[in-house]
Structure 1
Amino acid sequence: MASSRHISIIVLVLLFGGSKANPAAPSHSQLDVNHKKPLQTFRPYNIAHRGSNGELPEETAAAYLRAIEEGADFIETDILASKDGHLICFHDVTLDNITDVANRTEFAHRKRTYEVQGAKVTGWFVVDFTLKELKSLRVKQRFSFRDQRYNGKYQIITFEEFILIALYADRIVGIYPEIKNPVFINQHVKWSNGKKFEDKFVETLLRYGYKGAYMSEGWLRQPVFIQSFAPTSLISVSNMTNSPKVFLIDDTKTPTQDTNQSYYEITSNAYLAFIRNYVIGIGPWKDTIVPPKDNYLGQPTDLVARAHAHNLQVHPYTFRNENSCLHFNFHQDPYVEYEYWLNEIGVDGLFTDFTGSLHKYQEWTKPYPKKQKKAEALLHEIANMLKDDGY
């Protein structure tokens, strides 16, 4: 197993300003997954949306480490590309909302206007900055109603650094990366040999050992879901890897960014039957599953039932604890919201900004089976004995 000193060095580098673009991929002997607590698969997945970003600035090493500490099954991230072709963890194509770029006078001339998904957008774009320049920026909390104490403390991380956080966790933690805005990225970032964003994305996953069909031995060792709002990207990566994929679905007014299909077309039975050849699940915005009115829940649609009939999992997004994000039916109680979605709607995983809350709810209502807990405790005891003996 990797030494605690090795892990500490990696964590310190990620948290406090490391700038290596391509850290070396760890070997299986370094990771020693056989002695790690396995991924739970007996209850819906706890998916840490951009890390534990309800507490810490999103998609930073700190947010991901906190999510793992709090019990996340998967850590989720958005993948974009820098001007010089490095894959980074960042949600927006512009840097304006969650970095200090507007205060950096050396970058004042970089402001641009581009077309993004049919709309003119002005700002400082990720694709106009090199990785070194992106690493010089500092990240802040997106929402003003969340804790602002950590603003300016953390930097943007690369896809590879994100992977290392999962691989060096003290238990098996899955990753859930999104191919973000692939049409825009492929327009503005060019790689050698005619490669595209999707090629570089899959190459990175394969280089770090992520492969194998859902629930295969390889997948259970290094779990991954590949997600995208762009169906053509998911179809494209299906020709490169058999890792499981999830088709993200936006609100009812937003067409797909690459095929310009409506929400109603992509959620039809005919389309679900088609897309299931490439994906194992869908990730809809939760308000399209249960449309609200005046902040009260309406009648649930049949989308979950129809997806399950096509043998597709359903992982809705995004669950947030704050009162302003909870429908009135839940009486400002996020645990009541979890109960509704897991027990009444019957989804297979949740994207949440508050990993710890979801983990506590699931441990209260559906804890690990006693036999599994005893087996894991025994394995942990044996591992400690071997460690004490110098192995």
Structure 2
Amino acid sequence: MRRNMALISCVLFTVMLTSAVVSVSAGRPLTYPLPSSVPLGEKQVLQTFRAYNVAHRGSNGEFPEETAPAYMRAIDEGADFIETDIQATKDGILVCNHDVTLDDTTDVADHKEFADRRTTYEVQWVNTTGWFVVDFTLAELKTLRAKQRYDFRDQQYNGKFQLITFEEYISIALDAKRTVGIYPEIKNPVFVNKHVKWSDGKKLEDRFVETLQKFGYTGSYLSEDWLKRPAFIQSFAPSSLVYISNQTKLPKIFLIDDVTIRTEDTNQTYDVITSDSYFNYIKDYVMGIGPWKDTVVPPLENYLQRATDLIAKAHALGLQVHPYTFRNENSFLHFDFHQDPYVEYDFWINKMGVDGLFTDFTGSLHRYQEWTSSSEKQTLQKIASMVSSFKRG
């Protein structure tokens, strides 16, 4: 039996290695052409029968986050959705960037011409100092180059890629050879609307929805239109999700942080807004929640403790649950998973029953789901049978 398992493991390793070699040899594009050059037509449909593989800021375990190559790599690795954060520039253009500041993910500190832009603003109840997206025009942002957020990840692409706009991000998804969904976040809307003003009196949420509609993202969940242009809208600000509910039928996901943190817009702790009464209110505006995974299963000294009832409560109300963020590095894995991200995926998908996962490593989640699908299990059983027959012979 041990010999059989060793042979099976060898086959799996060979398949994995071959896939990796093919993927790398295909090359990693450094720029992204616009407008779309891929002809419209029938594409492979989005999978909806298993938990969604959401590329958190693209494949940012490999490339600087929220850049074109990070998203293109995630699509190549099997992402169902590519996720991003939407903010606005000084001149009102919507761009992809997670932080309200540019300090940790760009080379802005190296640009002497922007030295006087460093300032302090209050952001989510805390004074924050840095170079802020809202103080730069799009043309100025395009002179910056992205860098890897974490120093323990690959640094070779630092300084090579520009920040991208919301429209460029959408075009990347639409240019994919198969149907790939988008998962944009209305990021820090209270802060952005305070510092960026549009001449027609509209605000970030309005421009956000208008952009989606411009590219044909209009359908309700699982409708024919949605399956052609799949999208989830997410935000930590519940009032933004309520505000746009009359503007778009697209499914909305309410993000949930640590229960002690206050929302930017309503000044309620997430402990309050995960209560039964609040869930009964927000369920009329959203189709799911996106909780920080440590809010769902709190850790103590890096070991998981008893799970909360958050998932059960959401599912009882018909809400999906898409927790964040799954990362392969040991520093992000609780001891229960023994430095094995596949064990963590198995726990959240099969034991906790989540409906989607935000991951920095799209390829590993895709491989896990392919290996554990019914067809792959049948293949492994056939391999085991062949090995057994070979041994008897």
What interval of TM-score do these two structures reach, taking the shorter chain for normalisation?
A: 0.7 to 0.9
Question: Post-superposition shift, 1:15?
Answer: 4.0
Aligned to 1:197: 204
For 2:243, which of 236, 239, 247 is the aligned residue? Answer: 236
- Alpha-carbon contact 2:45-2:178 (below 8 Å) kept: yes
For 1:179, which of 183, 186, 203 is the aligned residue? Answer: 186
- Alpha-carbon contact 1:17-1:155 (below 8 Å) kept: no
- In structure 2, give the amino acid aligned to 1:38: V
Aligned-residue sequence identity (percent) comes to 68
Question: Post-superposition shift, 1:96?
Answer: 0.5
Q: State the alpha-carbon separation in 1 of the partners of residues 252 and 241 from structure 2.
A: 7
Instruction: Describe the superposition over 1:134-187 as per-residue Cα deviations: whole angstroms up to 9, x where unpaired.
Output: 011000000011011111111100000000000010000000000000000000
- Alpha-carbon contact 1:15-1:155 (below 8 Å) kept: no
Q: Answer yes or no: is 1:91 the counterpart of 2:98.
A: yes
TM-score when scaled to structure 1? 0.87
Question: Post-superposition shift, 1:31?
Answer: 2.1
Give the total of aligned pairs.
350
Aligned to 2:62: 55
- Alpha-carbon contact 2:260-2:271 (below 8 Å) kept: no
| Residue aligned with 1:263, SS | coil
> Unpaired segments of 5 or more residues in structure 1?
1-13, 371-391
Aligned to 2:176: 169
> Pairwise CA RMSD of aligned residues?
1.8
- Pair member with larger Rg: 2
Q: Answer yes or no: is 1:333 the counterpart of 2:364.
A: no
Q: State the alpha-carbon separation in 1 of the partners of residues 288 and 375 from structure 2.
A: 24
- In structure 1, give the amino acid aligned to 2:72: L
Note closer, same or farther for the CA distance 1:296–1:36 as it changes in structure 2 (3 Å cut): same
- Alpha-carbon contact 1:98-1:142 (below 8 Å) kept: yes
Aligned to 1:31: 40
Question: Post-superposition shift, 1:30?
Answer: 3.8
For 1:72, which of 79, 86, 89 is the aligned residue? Answer: 79
For 1:119, which of 126, 129, 132 is the aligned residue? Answer: 126
Aligned to 2:230: 223
Aligned to 1:282: 289
Aligned to 1:271: 278
- Alpha-carbon contact 1:80-1:180 (below 8 Å) kept: yes
Runs of 4+ with >4 A deviation: 367-370
- Alpha-carbon contact 1:17-1:135 (below 8 Å) kept: no
| Residue aligned with 2:79, SS | coil
Q: State the alpha-carbon separation in 1 of the partners of residues 336 and 190 from structure 2.
A: 39
Aligned to 1:142: 149
Question: Post-superposition shift, 1:16?
Answer: 3.6
- Alpha-carbon contact 1:101-1:137 (below 8 Å) kept: yes
Note closer, same or farther for the CA distance 1:368–1:223 as it changes in structure 2 (3 Å cut): farther
Q: Answer yes or no: is 1:323 the counterpart of 2:330.
A: yes
- Alpha-carbon contact 2:370-2:376 (below 8 Å) kept: no
Instruction: Describe the superposition over 1:13-58 as per-residue Cα deviations: whole angstroms up to 9, x where unpaired.
Output: x94488xxxx66x69x9422xx210000000000000000001100
Aligned to 1:345: 352
Q: State the alpha-carbon separation in 2 of the partners of residues 51 and 201 from structure 1.
A: 19
Q: State the alpha-carbon separation in 2 of the partners of residues 368 and 245 from structure 1.
A: 32
Alignment of 1:244-259 (within 5 A): 244-259=251-266
Q: State the alpha-carbon separation in 2 of the partners of residues 338 and 253 from structure 1.
A: 26
Instruction: Describe the superposition over 1:108-129 as per-residue Cα deviations: whole angstroms up to 9, x where unpaired.
Output: 1111111111111111110010
Q: Answer yes or no: is 1:132 the counterpart of 2:139.
A: yes
Aligned to 2:312: 305
Question: Post-superposition shift, 1:69?
Answer: 0.2
> Unpaired segments of 5 or more residues in structure 2?
1-28, 378-393
- In structure 1, give the amino acid aligned to 2:294: D
- Alpha-carbon contact 2:311-2:321 (below 8 Å) kept: yes
